[in-house]
Structure 1
């Protein structure tokens, strides 16, 4: 599931200076959406690129400049509910059963449709559930933040809508993302604190990341095989000392190769780089797929993993392909499967063994080498249940 962070920046939070500060913090932190009044759509577009959801408060979105007859900036989503049943301005009956008029959501087919509901009682849960059948985004905000109404809505609302939970902190966002082990699709953060906005985006990223079960395989052979076209993956992100990438000649068995974070007598550390192997090899990507090293280019994403299997994404800044002498490293997994990869014959390339960080030039038969193993085949980088022989 893809998670998202929305930032509340409508007129309720203050004047334009206050709203602009929130929007700017959202842009800098990497939030996905801002929720504003429709009169601010053009201002947001001028500040930067971000999803813009706009409250419809007068029944119609103003899209035409009467003087010029031109269509003005459109939001990416139109949200109803403010100044109506959704926020309690118009009372809902205590026995509400989903019969309210939601026709406003059925207009503007070229933009997403959203509904905003403050959970003031069980009747508002029912209203949100009914609105979800028409809305692309269903925003629910509890007055005293508790997980019970959110649990109810997660259980009742299907995949027809993105459920957006109102929160006031990164801690609440984490809970919202984890509720019922399914979690909300997104959170709407109401906070002026740029650090809280940044932390909430970090929570989004952490929740979305997978944790891999890494295991050790026995080294059967380390063989010099001559020169090949070797790939260095230089990322736009710094890596920690225990991080690297998963690469290999066979997608079912990807070897952990350390980032070049260590100093050596020969070269300075390059903590943005993984010397990943030959052009034919696979590298794991954040979506759980793979790419050939030869396919990588600036702007692509690759998966960074640490020794405990925790993952994150990194952006490729550049790829360096040069002819270098190589080793063929053959391994046997715990299940008796044979996998291998090619790595450059150089002491600066480090792998993770049972004895710790080891230069590939010091690797010997009998060593235990860390890798990620999954008994599956790949077709265009996607896992498939198919008989494919790799040797």
Structure 2
């Protein structure tokens, strides 16, 4: 599941200057959505590229008209009902919901996806949110007292029907929302003017989305010089830490943890944005558990950065450098007794992770152990498949 962060910036948070500050902070932090009033949609579009959800604020929540899908700067990506209606308690909630203007709006044919905004004031509003979720692509629930944890009930009952967006006021509440019942909300709506809190909430989103991989120690069975090949350096738009690198290998089932060039050497300064990854034919792991050939990478692609504990994050490729260089063939034996290989450049700046720390590939010897990600699966166009493929 890919989580999302929404930032609330409608007229309840202040005048346009206040709202603009929230939108700008959301853009700078990398938030996914802003929730504004429909009158502000065009202004938000002028500030930058971000998904825009808009409250209907013309006093008639029973209408979602074609003007909202005409492709202009004033068109939202999602039209949200519930503000100044039953959803937020402004209008009394009908006993059986059949006369609800909000639900009637959601049931109409509409040119853009619809969202429902519901404040959970009591159990009746919890039931109303369930009814709205059956009609809305997005259901925003604002808990007045999350100690009763209606979010657990809503995740269990409507988690598959709609994109569930939980209202929060800080990053820690966002973490709880993402982790509730282990499944968590699809998104959070952050009501905060603090740019640091918006940034921290985005960081929580990223942490929640990250895989954690089980790395193992594979034993070097041979290492030999084999001549030259076309070598790929992957330069990212991010700085990597000393314990980070990428997973690459000649065989998709066994990917070697190659460290980033974060260490200075007598020969060259550190390049902490770079992984000297291997030859053009090798696989590199990308977000979502897929792989690409190193030769396929280009500027703008996403790659997976991994640390020694198996923690992962996404980085964007800024540049790929392919040059002919002398290579080593490194053959490894996994804990299960399988044999995998990869090609790495014969250079002191290329290093791998060992139990003691990091070792330059030029210093590797038979019997050494290096970090490896191993999975008993084959790959077809980068996707894991259940079929027999022989790699040697």
Q: Within 2, Cα distance between the matches of 1:199 and 1:108?
A: 38
Q: Within 1, Cα distance between the matches of 2:137 and 2:105?
A: 13
Q: 1:178-257 residue pairs with structure 2 within 5 A?
A: 178-257=179-258
Q: Which residue of 1 aligns with 2:34?
A: 34
Q: Within 2, Cα distance between the matches of 1:279 and 1:307?
A: 24
With the length of structure 1 as denominator, give the TM-score of the two structures. 0.96
Is 1:361 aligned with 2:357?
no
Q: Within 2, Cα distance between the matches of 1:315 and 1:176?
A: 28
Is 1:43 aligned with 2:43?
yes
Q: Within 2, Cα distance between the matches of 1:384 and 1:155?
A: 31
Cα deviation, 1:244-278, whole Å, max 9, x if unaligned, reads 00000011100000000000000000000000000
Q: CA deviation at 1:330?
A: 0.3
- Structure 2 spans left out of the alignment, 5+ residues: none
Aligned residues: 387
The runs of 4+ residues in structure 1 deviating greater than 3 Å are 60-65, 69-72, 95-101, 106-110
Q: Within 2, Cα distance between the matches of 1:26 and 1:12?
A: 17
Q: Within 1, Cα distance between the matches of 2:369 and 2:198?
A: 43
Q: Within 2, Cα distance between the matches of 1:108 and 1:49?
A: 27
Is 1:18 aligned with 2:31?
no
Q: CA RMSD in A?
A: 1.7
Q: CA deviation at 1:4?
A: 0.2
Q: CA deviation at 1:372?
A: 0.5
Q: Which residue of 1 aligns with 2:265?
A: 264
CA contact (8 A) 2:64 2:105 kept: no
CA contact (8 A) 1:96 1:127 kept: no
Q: Which residue of 2 aligns with 1:85?
A: 86
Q: CA deviation at 1:110?
A: 3.3
With the length of structure 2 as denominator, give the TM-score of the two structures. 0.96
Cα deviation, 1:349-377, whole Å, max 9, x if unaligned, reads 00012232100001011011111001000
Distance 1:245 1:15, change over 3 A: same
CA contact (8 A) 1:77 1:111 kept: yes
CA contact (8 A) 2:354 2:371 kept: yes
Q: 1:366-377 residue pairs with structure 2 within 5 A?
A: 366-377=367-378
SS of equivalent to 2:146? coil
Q: Which residue of 1 aligns with 2:74?
A: 73
Q: CA deviation at 1:185?
A: 0.2
Q: Within 1, Cα distance between the matches of 2:195 and 2:252?
A: 41
SS of equivalent to 1:17? helix
Q: Which residue of 2 aligns with 1:281?
A: 282
Q: Which residue of 2 aligns with 1:110?
A: 111
